[in-house]
């Protein structure tokens, strides 16, 4: 299942980020997911809610998901259009020679982080 793998990778990535940024605990995580990324958001959140409890860093942290619009490009007329509204057929010229330009992205947008109190700075 795709969602399971994604959640594991998100948690790993967050642990790397935490180590590099002096983060003690994460309060919330916001993802950006393309409209046609194929990820089932409810399933993703379920997986998240299950796995976050096994990881000290993200224990209890809610997952927020923001969706990004999908855009398709037509190779016949070079125009772009909204994928969800028009699917594979270009609304300008009717060509089916089209492919997805964006809308399948999946990224970690931001986190709320509780930082480890800074070590006294050496001037």
Binding site for other proteins (CB under 8 A): 1-2, 4-6, 9-10, 12-13, 16-17, 21, 23, 27, 38, 75, 88, 96-100, 104-115, 117
Q: How far is the CB of 92 from other proteins (least distance, A)?
A: 17
Q: With CB cut-offs between 5 and 8 Å by kind, which of other proteins, Zn ion, none does residue 21 bind?
A: other proteins
Considering only residues 19, 40, 76, 85, which one is a binding residue for Zn ion as defined by CB under 5 A? 76
Q: How far is the CB of 71 from Zn ion (least distance, A)?
A: 13
What are all long-range contacts of 49-53, with beta carbons under 8 Å and residues at least 24 apart?
A: 51/7, 51/8, 51/11, 52/11
Per-residue interface string for the shown chain with Zn ion, residues 34-73, x marking contact by CB under 5 A: ----------------------------------------
> In 3-29, which positions are buried (b, 16+ CB within 10 angstroms) versus exposed (e)?
beebbeebbeebbeebeeeebebbeeb
């Amino acid at each position: 299942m795709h969602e399971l793998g994604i959640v594991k990778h998100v948690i790993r990535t967050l642990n790397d980020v935490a180590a590099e940024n002096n983060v003690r605990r994460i309060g919330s995580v916001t993802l950006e997911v393309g409209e046609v990324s194929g990820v089932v958001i409810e399933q993703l959140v379920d997986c998240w809610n299950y796995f976050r409890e096994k990881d000290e860093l993200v224990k209890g942290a809610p997952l927020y998901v923001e969706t990004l619009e999908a855009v398709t490009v037509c190779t016949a007329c070079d125009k772009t259009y909204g994928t969800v509204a028009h699917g594979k057929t270009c609304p300008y010229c009717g060509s089916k020679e089209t492919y997805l330009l964006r809308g399948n992205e999946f990224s970690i947008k931001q986190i709320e982080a509780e930082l480890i109190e800074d070590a006294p700075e050496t001037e």
